[in-house]
């Protein structure tokens, strides 16, 4: 179950091409994550940013840097590879997700990326996502079971 949903301004896609246009939105994602962690998980030792694909990795890298440098948090990035991708690490999900789990995505269209992230986390017995941070509104077609009980913070 997800406890907090953060939805800052919309990201301009593709993220890598329009990175300078997206920086303020990504910074607001990091600030929003910090505010929720500081208020609800003030004793947390580690934040695990979970992402998928190149856009997620770009956003997570910037958010990680802000949370580390600006807010002095210990942050790991768990990058889940897309199907068929085998570059760098041979695993689809590192086994060190043991902090507050924050799933980051650029936008939700069908919900497939988020649901595939959930599936990979569940395979590792990680059943709770404390924060879901996306940069756009969640469509009505998105799985109601996933969003049930989410507290909207922004």
State the chain's mean pLDDT as an integer.
76
Most confidently predicted of 2-6, 10-14, 70-74: 70-74
Query: Which residue ranges form the domains of the chain, and what is each CATH number?
Result: 2-149 (3.40.50)
Helix (H, G, I), strand (E, B) or coil at 133: strand
- At residue 2, the pLDDT reads 58
Mean pLDDT of 25-53: 88
DSSP state of 150: P
- At residue 91, the pLDDT reads 46
Q: Mind listing the pLDDT tens digit for each residue in 118-145?
A: 888 888 888 778 888 876 655 555 555 4
Are 45 and 99 spatial neighbours (Cβ–Cβ below 8 Å)?
yes
- Cα maximum dimension of the chain: 39
d(CA 77, CA 64): 7
Q: Mind listing the pLDDT tens digit for each residue in 47-99?
A: 999 998 888 889 999 999 999 999 999 999 988 877 777 666 544 455 555 68
Is pLDDT at 8 greater than 70 in this prediction? Answer: no
Reported residue count of the chain is: 154
């Amino acid at each position: 179950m997800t406890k907090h949903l953060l939805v800052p301004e919309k990201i301009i896609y593709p993220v890598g091409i329009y990175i300078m246009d997206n920086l303020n939105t990504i910074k607001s994602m990091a600030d929003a994550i910090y505010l929720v962690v500081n208020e609800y998980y003030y004793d947390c030792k580690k934040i695990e940013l979970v992402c998928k694909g190149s856009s997620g990795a770009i956003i997570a890298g910037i958010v990680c840097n802000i949370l580390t440098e600006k807010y002095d948090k210990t942050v790991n990035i768990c990058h889940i590879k897309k199907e068929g991708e085998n570059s760098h690490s041979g695993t689809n999900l590192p086994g060190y997700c043991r902090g507050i789990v924050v799933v980051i995505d650029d936008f939700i269209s069908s919900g497939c990326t988020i649901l595939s992230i959930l599936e990979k986390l569940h395979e590792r017995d990680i059943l709770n996502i404390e924060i879901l941070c996306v940069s756009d509104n969640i469509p009505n077609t998105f799985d109601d079971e996933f969003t049930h009980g989410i507290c909207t913070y922004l």
